[in-house]
Structure 1
Amino acid sequence: MSDTLKAQITEAMKDAMRAKEKERLGAIRLILAELKRIEVDERIEVDDARVLAILDKMVKQRRDSISQYVDAGRQELADKEQAEIDVIQAFLPEALGEAELTTMIDAAIQESGAESMRDMGKVMGLLKPQIQGRADVGAVSGMVKSKLG
């Protein structure tokens, strides 16, 4: 079996089943169900880049849910979402640090010849594939704005 991200997630599911890790297994099954849904809906085979984008989106959705649950005083539900985030993040590459991000943003601004906010799209176009699953795109967008602004 190829060592794709999807294959690694499938292996992790089998390991979780063997180890009887119910919560971890549930979270992994959610990931695989989402991958399968997209493959069926779009009639495609997801590649690693697409899997990262999907995992990134799943983390973001759960973060949004956590803030809503915390505001509603439902800590047990927030904890469940956080546990799912922890499982999902295990399949994402290591997060980029502030210094790495700044270097990447500077390089993208240089490469695109960006001079003002009008060039924001060019810069983000170069950065997005590099930061997918490794940094919050919204936060990076804010950093780019402050550099171009």
Structure 2
Amino acid sequence: MSLKETLPVELKEALRSGDKVKLNTIRLILSAINYAEIEQQKQLDDPGVHAVIAKMIKQRKESIEAFKAGNRQDLVDKEQAELNILESYMPKQLSREEIVAEARKVIAEVGANKPQDMGKVMGKLTPMLRGKADGKEIAAVVTELLKQ
């Protein structure tokens, strides 16, 4: 069962159990998926849905930082609760060691050996790790490896 089919089922469960945070978060996810499908004019598969959720996770993390800076703990807690639910729908994130291993494979495959080759490496590595690792983390690892 795809993630897109699972979400409405979990929406009903959250409605029955009275879990308002989960209910609202799933509604937000379904709405974002719908907008993305309209924008792209095609049905999203699981990687597409993961990309939408990853974008939502990034927004929550930025909001949490802003609310912490503004001393709004109530809003930090709300965003953190939504973030936890969003992350539960993402595939397991790769550890730094796993990202390094994948990056080394791609660097060897592409024949990159200097920082100027980062575009070649990222162009091949990013689609492979999409949804499994944060883009900033991937870029940091690639930069570090190419400087050696």
Normalising by the smaller structure, the TM-score range is over 0.9
Which residue of 39, 42, 45 maps to 1:41? 39
Which residue of 5, 16, 19 maps to 2:17? 19
Which residue of 127, 130, 141 maps to 2:128? 130
Structure 2 equivalent of residue 31 of structure 1: 29
Q: 1:10, CA displacement in angstroms? A: 2.0
Amino acid at match of 1:41: E
Structure 1 equivalent of residue 109 of structure 2: 111
**1:99 pairs with 2:62:** no
Q: 1:134, CA displacement in angstroms? A: 2.0
What value does the CA root-mean-square deviation take over the aligned residues?
Answer: 1.2
TM-score relative to the length of structure 1: 0.92
Which residue of 119, 136, 140 maps to 1:121? 119
Structure 2 unpaired stretches of 5+ = none
Give runs of ≥4 in structure 1 deviating > 2 Å. none
Structure 1 unpaired stretches of 5+ = none
Amino acid at match of 2:88: A
Amino acid at match of 1:99: E
Count of residue pairs the alignment pairs up:
147
Structure 1 equivalent of residue 140 of structure 2: 142
Q: 1:131, CA displacement in angstroms? A: 2.0
**1:63 pairs with 2:61:** yes
TM-score relative to the length of structure 2: 0.93
Q: Percent identity?
A: 37
